[in-house]
Structure 1
């Protein structure tokens, strides 16, 4: 009999990777100063994080089809905690990058395995509604991460952040060890990875969703990358940057609530994605013209509201045709969009400009959505 996981526990696990990253983000200026590296180089740790995260998504997604969802998740949490603890004692910036990569590799289980367990247990509109709850969890994650991270960074520097990350992984490991069920069906055997890869690479639907998921994540994480340095230029503390997560969380909560309400009224996911792109472009333009003062947080909240609308629909719809190999398909899908996120954030780090980066990303998202709509209008036999 198939076990159904606890929704609150699934929300916490979905939040985990985002908390790990946003708790770390306020420590970037302290890391730059402590290891005597330029701010742009310290910012590259975020790109390294997503590159390793992408590889972790592939590993844990495949392993959860072979070893089971529960075993894969516990191993990932264990690796994350070990890497966070080791980061406390690294002698150089290069070693810090290595530990950050291992930490990200382990944290990836919170994304791919959690999504796989949800796809095991729900489908259709029920799955979309469950992912809407995940969106609410994503809204809370940055508040916890940025607020706690900003406070820790200002009080005790980056080492306090790494210690907290280690304790968080240990706590979550203990909870999952006691309460996390196995959702993979008995006798459900993984198919050929190579055949699945070829099928997905040829699937234009998959590439469309990969582009959109990556783009909305770049919009969100550009703030976590450039925000600390922008607050420095405005003469504000990292604790203030941490508290800014409350404003962003409010935006995401509003977006998630709007998404849930419109789904219940029967609005189709594609219409919701169009609304999200319009909001994202509006917010990006607003940030571009207001980033010289703290008022830029209002249009930034519009962007995260768009994120709260878009991501639940994208994640619930992307792999509807791949339920027979949910873990591996989720791994390959995650690999593609996390590689794009890493590339996008590397470019954002090089530009050093928040507003301009947001406008370009939002324009690309709008173009991708329009192309997807045109593609859906073309008869299948004409493609």
Structure 2
């Protein structure tokens, strides 16, 4: 029997991929030191993660339509747990990279299948409000991840971080095994080639994917490069972890603001312009203050822009693809995760947060102008 999933479980499952990355960020310095690799190489583990995540999104989205939402989620969590276990035990950097690929592939199920289940269970305005609630959950993720990651890294380095990730994976696997319902009402024939061609030709889908990617690159470039910036400024991984509280508060407040404005029938296009403006002001501010710890202040605006933009883009992006929402969500996710992975690869090469943010804000404004 099909039932609506617990919103709290859906929040947790959508938060988990974010927690996975933010808990990992403070450990990048420890990884660079322990594996005797450069800062740039350590940072690449984050960008590689997103590229593998993009591949996982497609596989799990297709399987969600073919096998059902529940079994697909269970399989993905099991694979993620295996990747976390390997990462926890290895002392070889190439093996760590492979473990990160496996982990990313597995945990991608939390993003695409959770969104698919929400689109199964809710429609229209109700779906927009649900995604706004999800946005609040996502905004809390950096606070939890950065705080926990900073503390674990300070106590036991990256080994403790990977141990925590494995423990969380095991807990979620067991909970979903007993509590997750099936939301798919009927299986639709999968016409992936036709669907892919339709979406590639859909300008609005491409612009939506670009916007999701740009806001993610903006926030994750901080998680990717911030640990090294803090070291250059004379601070450690623990202080970097605390910075997640500041950014998380910015995301949380903007998510609540977004929810309040939506309840007052404020148009999503207006809200996207608000987020683009916040990102632009924040990007310029970071560029100008990067030589001091005060660069955190304009980063709050960048985090706030993320909290407003993401739920508004995601809630309407696939409105025309309801019949194959699992596969469409997978292809849509692959679009923006490939963009995120590519953007973070470039950010790791550039190694300058201010430049990355200014480029992201400029392209975001152009994309917002072009999008209906």
**With structure 2 as the length reference, what TM-score do the two structures score?**
0.99
Residues 1:190 and 1:243: Cα distance change in structure 2 (over 3 Å): farther
Aligned pair 1:38/2:38, yes or no? yes
Deviation of 1:298 after TM superposition, in Å, equals 1.4
Deviation of 1:170 after TM superposition, in Å, equals 0.3
Deviation of 1:295 after TM superposition, in Å, equals 1.3
Give the 4+ runs in structure 1 shifted more than 6 A. Answer: none
Give the secondary structure class of the aligned counterpart of 1:205: helix
Per-residue CA deviation, residues 245-295 of structure 1 (Å, 9 max, x unaligned), is 110011001110111111111111111111110110001111111121221
- 1:288-299 alignment to 2 at 5 Å? 288-299=287-298
Is 293-302 or 245-254 further displaced after alignment?
A: 293-302
User: 2:201 corresponds to which residue?
Assistant: 202
Aligned 8 A contact 2:213 2:336 in 1: yes
Cα separation, 1, equivalents of 2:169 and 2:189: 29
Deviation of 1:184 after TM superposition, in Å, equals 0.3
- 1:322-337 alignment to 2 at 5 Å? 322-337=321-336
Give the secondary structure class of the aligned counterpart of 1:36: coil
User: 1:90 corresponds to which residue?
Assistant: 90
Cα separation, 2, equivalents of 1:2 and 1:76: 21
User: 2:213 corresponds to which residue?
Assistant: 214
Per-residue CA deviation, residues 170-209 of structure 1 (Å, 9 max, x unaligned), is 0011111111100000x32232111111111111111110
User: 1:346 corresponds to which residue?
Assistant: 345
Per-residue CA deviation, residues 39-87 of structure 1 (Å, 9 max, x unaligned), is 1011000110000000000010001111111111111111111111111
Uncovered stretches (5+) of structure 1, i.e. residues with no partner: 377-383
Cα separation, 1, equivalents of 2:359 and 2:168: 36
**With structure 1 as the length reference, what TM-score do the two structures score?**
0.96
Per-residue CA deviation, residues 131-190 of structure 1 (Å, 9 max, x unaligned), is 0111111111111111111111111011111111000000011111111100000x3223
Per-residue CA deviation, residues 21-54 of structure 1 (Å, 9 max, x unaligned), is 1111111011111111111011000110000000
Cα separation, 2, equivalents of 1:7 and 1:219: 28
Deviation of 1:368 after TM superposition, in Å, equals 1.0
User: 2:109 corresponds to which residue?
Assistant: 109
Aligned 8 A contact 2:2 2:181 in 1: no
Report the RMSD for the aligned CA atoms in angstroms: 0.9
Aligned pair 1:245/2:240, yes or no? no
Residues 1:190 and 1:301: Cα distance change in structure 2 (over 3 Å): farther
* Count of equivalent residues: 372
Cα separation, 2, equivalents of 1:300 and 1:254: 14
Give the secondary structure class of the aligned counterpart of 1:208: helix
Uncovered stretches (5+) of structure 2, i.e. residues with no partner: none
